[in-house]
Amino acid sequence: MDNRLNVTYITFDGHVEVHRYRYLYFVIMFTMYILIISSNFTVVSIIVIHKSLHEPMYIFIAALLINSVLFSTVIYPKLLIDFLSEKQIISYSACLFQWFSFYSLAASEFFLLSVMAYDRYVSICNPLQYSTIMRKTTVNMFLIFAWVLPVCEVSVPMLLSAKKEICKFHLKGIHCNSTVPKLHCVSSRLLHIYGMVALASAVLFPVLFILFTYTRILVISYRCRGVRTKAAQTCLPHLLVLINFSCFIAYDVLIPRLEVDFPKIVRLIMALQIITYHPLFNPIIYGLKMRGIYEHLKRLFCKRV
């Protein structure tokens, strides 16, 4: 704690040999951040520019990719500063904000994937009613819901944590995540219960809903041969993104709660995969697997060559 400024600082203990490899870490992660921003916004720009892609499915994909950029921006700037700093520290208030932003955007990812699953369900299982159900107003409401609801859910534990006294000043990680409550002098049963409820509503229920809708789509596609190709082309990318992100979030949330003591290098590798692999995976999988986007990407890069 800095008594002169009355600011409490938290130290990140998840870095490995940062003093020796600081410039290597910085160059690698800065390159990854640029790749994340450029790849995601390339696909978003294609969706915005081409009117043929102004459909609910592509609008939701654009929202998901923007969410990925925001998700990365919550972590990368601070991480890059830490690589070049003598001490890897963050004020407690900034840590709470990073924690809040990280999990609200992560929850938004699951809600957006749920909306995309519903969109595919209506398109494949009720094609005649698709234009009536998925109107512009409905799409806008889904987007607002996907971003506002997680903010409301995650703001509660953040506000509760802000009022609690902390006795520990070290985090076993490289950013503020679900280990933040372990800094408190006295663990809160209310905070723990609310966290489990929020986890169920923000992750478990959306995942179950997605699996239910895709099961229904799978049943319909096997009954009707004409929709098999459409189902495979549009649903497979969503399922790959869901599986990928669910595995990383499950690790990030559950491992600290189970208090499994992994070696520091393992924790660092997993943390870097969460903030690097997934934001890069989204634009690649949608750019290659969604034919509408892939065709425009191919024209764009073929012209340049």
pLDDT: which is higher, 256 or 147: 147
179, two tokens? 């280990």
Which amino acid, 250?
A
pLDDT of amino acid 232: 63
Q: Which residues of 33-50 are buried (b: 16+ CB within 10 A; e: fewer)?
A: beebbebbbbbbebbeee
**CB of 123 within 8 A of CB of 218?**
no
Percent of the chain with pLDDT over 70: 90
Which tokens in the block code for residue 19? Answer: 């003093």
pLDDT tens digits for range 231-255: 666 677 778 788 878 877 777 777 6
Q: Distance between CA atoms of 63 and 108, rounded to whole angstroms?
A: 10
9-12 sheet: strands from edge to edge: 89-91, 9-12, 170-171
Ordered structural domains, the chain, with CATH = 9-304 (1.20.1070.10)
Average pLDDT over residues 258-271: 76
The yes-or-no verdict on residue 230 having pLDDT over 70 is: no
Bridge partners of residue 184, in order along the sequence: 166
CB 172, CB 267: distance < 8 Å: yes
For residue 233, the model assigns a pLDDT of: 66
The pLDDT mean for the chain works out to 84
The phi and psi torsions of 293 (rounded to 5 degrees) equal -75, -40
CA-based nearest residue to 166, from 257, 92, 91, 88: 92
Furthest-apart CA atoms within the chain: distance in Å: 72
Q: Are 48 and 302 in contact (CB under 8 A)?
A: no
The residue with greater pLDDT, 188 or 284, is 284
**Structure tokens that stand for 248 in this block:** 């990383």
Rounded CA separation 64/107 (Å): 11
Please tell me the distance from the alpha carbon of residue 295 to that of residue 278, in angstroms, as a whole number: 23
Query: In 3D, which of 185, 1, 177 has the Cα closest to residue 98?
Result: 177
* Tokens describing residue 288: 């290659």
Q: Rg for the chain (alpha carbons), in Å?
A: 21
Helix (H) or strand (E) holding 12: strand 9-12
Query: Percentages helix, strand, coil for the chain, rounded to the nearest 5?
Result: 80, 5, 15
Confidence (pTM)? 0.88
3-class SS of residue 170: strand
What's the token pair of residue 96? Answer: 């709470």
What is the tens place of the pLDDT at every residue in 132-181? 899 999 999 999 999 999 999 899 888 888 888 888 888 888 888 888 88
Give residue 21's pLDDT band: very low, low, confident or very high (50, 70, 90).
confident
Amino acid at the residue 233: Q
Taking residue 215's Cβ as centre, other Cβ atoms within 10 Å add up to: 10
